[in-house]
Amino acid sequence: MSIRVAVAGATGYAGGEVLRLLLAHPEVEIGAITAHSSAGTVLGASHPHLRALADREVVATTVENLADHDVVVLALPHGASGVIAAQLPADVVVLDCGADHRLVHASAWELFYGSAHAGTWPYGMPELIVGAATASGKQRDRLVGARRIAVPGCNVTAVTLGLQPGIAAGVIEPLDLVAVLANGYSGAGKALRPHLLAAEALGAASPYGVGGVHRHIPEIEQNLVAAGASRVSISFTPTLVPMASGILATATARLAEGADAASVRAAWEQAYADEPFVYLLPAGQWPCTAATLGANTALIQVAVDKRAGRVVTVTAIDNLVKGTAGAAIQSMNLALGLPEELGLSTAGVAP
């Protein structure tokens, strides 16, 4: 029997990528395709690459249009998911690709987002290290059977996967973390804004969210505390670069006392040895965003800068796949008792 899935916010980049992945999922039937301002159009007007769905009508994002499904994916702006999700039946699997339900502490939400907190859902990063709280020490155990799942932020995914093995193993210090990211423009969404025009973006690199104000900071801190840090201090600076998709996250940390290059690499090897979508590359091979394009993979490398006394990690993901839509499908599979890898590719489309 097919799993009927509705996608809200389907005409945006994240919603379109969810639909692309669902088309390759052998157990899924795509149900309602909804949006706000694009309601009444056909999907091909927004996503001409999705030929199998090009003639499907985009309907309004209402509870009535979403309710009669096994799964609902909410690819909506931050702050828009909570009201709709609260009205959906309890037995429906709801995957929120926005930020509304990611944070544990309401105070952190209110500080960074400036509105009332919608509540906390199980966190949709199966690879998140959560210590001894589950049998495997990973978040995936908490997603089995879940009916509400908060999909992680894309920047958060790259930084968390890059740093958490060192935190969990105690080979890096968590109080002087620095992360600088190169981000593709699709992460900024489809809204027409002057700084996103090709005339402004091509040939330019532009930082944003500088100085501790980026909304993904509390989510990164939350994840690294889950991995074993008692307290986290991170300087986080994303930068838009002229590519459509992808994140290359370079994160560094002070080397812990007694740790060396061998113990550092061993920590990352142990953390990801059995992960189907996270790969520690051979020593000396560095991640490239092109190698992750279209794939639900995270490619990671780690090295020790002896002179600086720091560990350097570099992580590449496709922000729309492993960073958003792929994470949603991966979590959906776990929630429904399906094989975690079902419908998800590890093959990129480089060059």
Q: Is residue 177 part of a domain?
A: yes
Of residues 197 and 348, which shows the higher confidence score?
348
Q: 51 and 113 share a domain? A: yes
CB 300 within 8 A of CB 63: no
Of the three residues 121, 146, 178, the one that is the final residue of a domain is 121
pLDDT over 70 at 136, yes or no: no
- For residue 148 the two structure tokens come to 């509400």
Query: Is residue 19 domain-resident?
Result: yes
Question: Is position 136 within any domain?
Answer: no
State how far the Cα of 184 lies from the Cα of 174, in Å rounded to an integer: 27
CA angle in degrees (0–180, nearest 5) for 216-219-225: 140
Partners of 206 in beta bridges: 240
The three-state DSSP-derived secondary structure of the chain is CCEEEEEECCCCHHHHHHHHHHHCCCCEEEEEEEECCCCCCEHHHCCCCCHHHCCCECEECCHHHHHCCCEEEECCCCCCHHHHHHHCCCCCEEEECCCCCCCCCHHHHHHHHCCCCCCCCCECCCCCECHHHCCCCEHHHHCCCCCEEECCCHHHHHHHHHHHHHHHHCCECCCCEEEEEEECHHHHCCCCCHHHCHHHHCCCCEECCCCCCCCCHHHHHHHHHHCCCCCCCEEEEEEECCCCCCEEEEEEEEECCCCCHHHHHHHHHHHHCCCCCEEECCCCCCCCHHHHCCCCCEEEEEEEECCCCEEEEEEEECCCHHHHHHHHHHHHHHHCCCCCCCCCCCCCCCC
Measured CA to CA, the distance from residue 274 to residue 59 in angstroms comes to: 41
Provide the pLDDT for residue 272: 97
Residue with tokens 């105690």: 170
- Give yes or no: 97 in active site: no
Report pLDDT for 133.
44
> In this structure, are 198 and 102 located in the same domain?
no
pLDDT of residue 199: 85
**CATH number (domain holding residue 223):** 3.30.360.10
Quick one: 173 and 281 in the same domain? Answer: yes
Reported as a single tens digit per residue, the pLDDT across 148-174 is: 999 999 999 999 999 999 999 999 999
Q: What is the mean pLDDT of residues 3-29?
A: 97
Boundary residue ending a domain (73, 99, 121): 121
Amino acid at the residue 11: T
Amino acid present at 283: A
Please indicate, yes or no, whether residues 164 and 251 belong to a single structural domain of this protein. yes
Same domain, 90 and 196: no
Domain boundary among 70, 105, 121: 121
Q: Are 63 and 201 part of one and the same domain?
A: no
Are both 179 and 65 inside the same structural domain? Answer: no
Distance, in Å, from the CA atom of 70 to the CA atom of 345, rounded to the nearest integer, reads 23
Question: Residues 115, 167: one domain?
Answer: no
Instruction: Check whether residue 87 and residue 231 sit in a common domain.
Output: no
User: Average pLDDT over the chain, rounded to whole?
Assistant: 95
The string of pLDDT tens digits covering residues 294-317 is: 999 999 999 999 999 999 999 999
129 part of a folded domain: no
Q: Is residue 288 within 8 Å of 349, Cβ to Cβ? A: no
How many domains is the chain partitioned into structurally?
A: 2
**Domain with 29 in it: what CATH number?**
3.40.50.720
- The torsion angles phi and psi of 115, rounded to 5 degrees, stand at -145, 175
The parent domain of residue 99 ranges over: 3-121
Catalytic hit among 10, 129, 154, 240: 154
- Would you say residue 343 lies in a domain? no
At residue 281, the pLDDT reads: 98
Alpha-carbon dihedral sign for residues 344, 337, 3, 84: negative
Q: Structure tokens of 67? A: 């309710």
Is residue 145 one of the residues assigned to a domain?
no
Taking a C-beta distance cutoff of 8 angstroms, is the pair 221, 279 a contact? no
Same domain, 170 and 267: yes
Question: Mean pLDDT over residues 102-128, rounded?
Answer: 95
pLDDT surpasses 60 at 113: yes
Give me the mean pLDDT over the 138-153 stretch.
97
Residue 200 in any domain: the answer is yes
pTM value is: 0.95
Percent of the chain clearing pLDDT 70 (strictly above): 98
The residues, ordered by sequence, that sit 6+ positions from 175 with a Cβ below 8 Å of its Cβ are 231, 232, 233, 254
Predicted pLDDT at 188: 81
Residue 133 included in any domain: no
- Asked whether residue 200 falls in the same domain as residue 301, the answer is yes
Mean pLDDT (whole number) for 14-39: 96
pLDDT tens for residues 67-81?
999 999 999 998 899
Looking at residues 102-124, what average pLDDT do you find?
94
Question: Quick check: 43 and 59 in contact, CB under 8 A?
Answer: no
pLDDT digits (tens, 9 = 90+) for 223-267: 999 999 999 999 999 999 999 999 999 999 999 999 999 999 999
Could you read off the pLDDT of 53-111 as tens digits, one per residue? 999 999 999 999 999 999 999 999 988 999 999 999 999 999 999 999 999 999 999 99
Q: Is the pLDDT of residue 127 over 60?
A: yes
| pLDDT reading at 47 higher than 50 | yes
Indicate if 64 and 178 belong to the same structural domain. Answer: no
